[in-house]
């Protein structure tokens, strides 16, 4: 490849025939091609299009009459059961507390929910057990409150 001479007068280059040494170079921003973005799942793409993140913890089920809610947090790797708004006045009965403890749930005072870890090796069975426990708790609370069983149940 031949070397260019260091003369002060330049001839127009082949790339931009209208540019001469007297004209200032184009000061516009350089546009570089962006690297190809990694493929994301459909849910992630929808979340990005809307401009908001995917909710975490994710609400799985809620029985509004019984005041019980089931959540899963993928980020924390936990299932959670919440009673009412988590306020101490919505504390479940000792019978329900015994069921929660027997199932391996522990009380989280910061989040005001009962939590159970979800391990990757047993994630599906943990979710199924959590949904069954949720149903049992809802039936027990409905019986305690005198709510008829023929009224709507979320599952």
Q: Domain segments of the chain: what residues?
A: 58-145
Give yes or no for a contact between 111 and 80, defined as CB atoms under 8 angstroms apart. Answer: yes
The tokens for 135 are: 């149903």
What is d(CA 23, CA 47) in angstroms, rounded to the nearest whole number?
48
User: Residues 47, 86, 141, CA angle at the centre, nearest 5°?
Assistant: 105
Give yes or no for a contact between 154 and 141, defined as CB atoms under 8 angstroms apart. Answer: no
Q: pTM of the prediction? A: 0.60
With CA atoms as reference, report the closest residue to 114 among 138, 96, 135.
96
- Conformational region of residue 5, where left means phi above 0, alpha means psi within -120 to 50, and beta covers everything else: beta
Instruction: Going residue by residue through the chain, which has 155 residues, state the pLDDT in tens, using 9 for 90 and above.
Output: 556 555 555 555 555 455 555 555 555 566 666 666 566 555 555 555 555 566 778 888 988 888 899 999 888 899 999 998 766 677 889 999 999 999 999 999 988 899 999 999 999 999 999 999 999 999 999 998 888 766 555 54
Q: What is the CA radius of gyration of the chain?
A: 31
């Amino acid at each position: 490849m031949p070397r260019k001479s260091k003369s002060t007068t330049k001839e127009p280059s082949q790339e931009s025939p209208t540019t001469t040494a007297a004209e200032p170079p184009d000061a516009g921003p350089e546009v570089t091609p962006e690297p190809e973005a990694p493929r994301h799942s459909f849910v992630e793409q929808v979340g990005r299009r809307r401009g908001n993140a995917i909710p975490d913890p994710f609400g799985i089920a809620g029985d509004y009459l019984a005041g019980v809610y089931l959540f899963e947090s993928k980020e924390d790797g936990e299932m959670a059961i919440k009673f009412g708004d988590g306020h101490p006045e919505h504390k479940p009965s000792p019978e329900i507390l015994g069921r929660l403890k027997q199932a391996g749930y522990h009380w989280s005072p910061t989040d005001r929910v009962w939590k159970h870890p979800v391990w990757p090796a047993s994630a599906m069975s943990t979710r199924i057990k959590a949904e069954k426990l949720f149903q049992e708790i809802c039936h027990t609370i409905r019986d305690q409150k005198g709510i008829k069983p023929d009224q709507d149940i979320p599952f």
